[in-house]
Amino acid sequence: MPIGIVRPQKRTEQWIMASSASESATHETVATMDAGRTRQPAGAPLRVLHIFRYFRPDFTGEGLYLEKLAPLLDDLNIQADVAVECTRSPAMNRPPAGIGRASFFGLGTGRVRRVPAVMTGWFLVNAFRYDVVHFHAFVDRIFLFHLIARMSGCRIVQSATLDDGLGSVLRGYRPIYRPLLLRLFRLIDAAVAISPRLHADTRQVLPPRQTWLIPQGVNPAPDTSPADRSRWRAHWGFAADDVVLLFVGGMCARKDVTFLVENHAALRPPASGRVKLLLVGPQLEDGYLDALRRLIAASACHADIVLEGYMDDPSPAYGAADVFVFASRGEGFGNVLIEAMSWGLPVVSRRLEQVTDHIIDDGGTGFLFDTAAEYHAAATRLIADPSRRLVMGRAACQTVRQRFDLPGIAHQYAQLYRLLTGKPDA
256 and 295 fall within a common domain: yes
Say if residue 71's pLDDT is above 60. Answer: yes
Choose the weakest-confidence range: 18-27, 194-203, 223-232, 290-299: 18-27
Lowest mean pLDDT among 15-24, 53-62, 184-193, 307-316: 15-24
User: What range does the domain containing 372 cover?
Assistant: 226-403
How confident is the model over 250-254, as a mean pLDDT? 95
- Number of domains observed in the structure of the chain: 2
Residue 6 inside a domain? The answer is no
Listed as own residue / partner, the contacts of 38-42 with beta carbons closer than 8 Å and 24 or more positions apart are 38/11, 40/77, 41/75, 41/77, 41/426, 42/426
Confidence of residue 276 (pLDDT cuts 50, 70, 90): very high
Give the pLDDT confidence score for residue 33 in this predicted structure: 67
- Specify if 41 maps to a domain: yes
User: Residue 67 corresponds to which amino acid?
Assistant: E
State whether 239 and 189 are in the same domain: no
Q: Are residues 147 and 35 in the same domain?
A: yes
The pLDDT of residue 36 is 52
In whole angstroms, what is the distance from residue 107 CA to residue 117 CA? 11
Domain shared by 131 and 231, yes or no: no
What pLDDT score does 89 carry? 78
Do 382 and 415 sit in the same domain of this protein?
no
Residues 200 and 265 grouped into a single domain = no
Q: Are residues 111 and 170 in the same domain?
A: yes
Predicted local confidence at residue 6, as pLDDT:
28
Q: Does any domain span residue 206?
A: yes
DSSP three-state, residue 47: strand
Instruction: Looking at the structure, tell me whether residues 287 and 399 fall in a common domain.
Output: yes
254 and 195 within one domain:
no
**Same structural domain, 163 and 255:** no
The pLDDT of residue 59: 74
Percentage of the chain exceeding pLDDT 70: 87
Task: Give the Cα-Cα-Cα angle 317, 319, 324 (nearest 5 degrees).
Answer: 65
Same domain, 203 and 240: no
Mapped onto helix, strand or coil, the DSSP state of residue 357 is helix
Is 29 part of a structural domain of the chain? Answer: yes
Do 185 and 244 lie in a common domain?
A: no
Asked whether residue 2 is domain-assigned, the answer is no
14-19 long-range Cβ contacts below 8 angstroms, 24+ apart:
14/93, 15/89, 15/93, 18/118, 18/122, 19/118
Does a structural domain hold residue 198? yes
Q: What's this model's pTM, rounded to 2 decimal places?
A: 0.86
Mean pLDDT of the chain: 89
Write out the DSSP string of 214-240. ----BPPPPP--HHHHHHHHHHTT--T
The answer to whether residue 18 scores a pLDDT higher than 60 is no
* Residue 13 confidence (pLDDT) above 50: no
Q: At residue 92, does pLDDT exceed 80?
A: no
Residue 5 lies in a domain: no
Domain membership flag for residue 328: yes
CATH number of the domain that residue 32 is part of: 3.40.50.2000
